[in-house]
Structure 1
Amino acid sequence: MSKRDELIGKYADEIRSKIGQEPDMDLLRKVTIGCGPSIYNRDSATVATSQPKEMETVKNNFLIRKLGLSDGPKLDDAIDKAAETYGKSNATKYRAVFYYLLVKHFGKENVYA
């Protein structure tokens, strides 16, 4: 099993245990691949939801550039909702899982089709 496949399995377990949902494995795989090499670096593999600069990066680089959404309060609301869903007290929020939640929230699965 490749390192990426191991990580995808770990992310699926996170979705099941911390979010209480059964993941769409095909979408999770595509979102994880879309994260590129960041998933292998301890620092960039996670999202620091308590850091406003990090949340701006998620908004600009992922929601606006990757998903093609228009800037506005709905993006900030979605980021807050994803953080809440993942668990605000959960210190380790994996980037691929966080992005997966945002893709599902906005119904943008077609970006990964």
Structure 2
Amino acid sequence: MSALETVRKYAPDADEAVVAAMEKTYRLALTHADARLVSYSDDEELKTVRESFVKGKLGVTDSDESIDAAIQEVGKKISGQKPRLAVYYLLAEKYGKLGVFKS
């Protein structure tokens, strides 16, 4: 399944150009099987999503508690394994930050 197909399972109107840009940005990480998924059972991983992606990449300045709640909310939308690009797309969409990935 392509990255776009994966993301569109959870965001049917996902912007193809944004998904392609995300895929390019995170290409190196996505080459590792364990990095393709976000482990919601690993607190350190969720902290990394919060600090590196939501705060770092998206520039969100909300409280850690608020961001953690958003990460959990996104996780509930995705049953089973949590594909990293889908999680990242849904978080960027939630915060109105898809433009970060537009040229």
Which TM-score tier does this pair reach, normalised by the shorter chain? 0.7 to 0.9
What is the rounded CA distance, in whole Å, between the counterparts of 1:54 and 1:109 in structure 2?
Answer: 22
Identity of aligned residues (%): 25
What is the rounded CA distance, in whole Å, between the counterparts of 1:68 and 1:86 in structure 2?
Answer: 24
Match in the other structure for 1:93: 82
* TM-superposition CA deviations, 1:4-27 (whole Å, max 9, x none): xxxxx523222344x262321111
CA contact (8 A) 1:27 1:109 kept: yes
Match in the other structure for 1:68: 59
CA contact (8 A) 2:18 2:98 kept: yes
TM-score normalised by length of structure 1: 0.79
TM-score normalised by length of structure 2: 0.86
What is the rounded CA distance, in whole Å, between the counterparts of 2:11 and 2:51 in structure 1?
Answer: 28
CA contact (8 A) 2:89 2:98 kept: no
Match in the other structure for 2:23: 32
CA contact (8 A) 1:11 1:94 kept: no
5+ unaligned residues in a row in structure 1: which ranges?
1-8
Alignment of 1:77-88 (within 5 A): 77-87=69-79
Q: What letter matches 1:37 in structure 2?
A: L
5+ unaligned residues in a row in structure 2: which ranges?
none
Match in the other structure for 2:4: 12
Matched position secondary structure for 1:43:
helix
What is the rounded CA distance, in whole Å, between the counterparts of 1:61 and 1:50 in structure 2?
Answer: 18
Q: How many residues are treated as equivalent by the alignment?
A: 101
What is the rounded CA distance, in whole Å, between the counterparts of 2:5 and 2:96 in structure 1?
Answer: 22
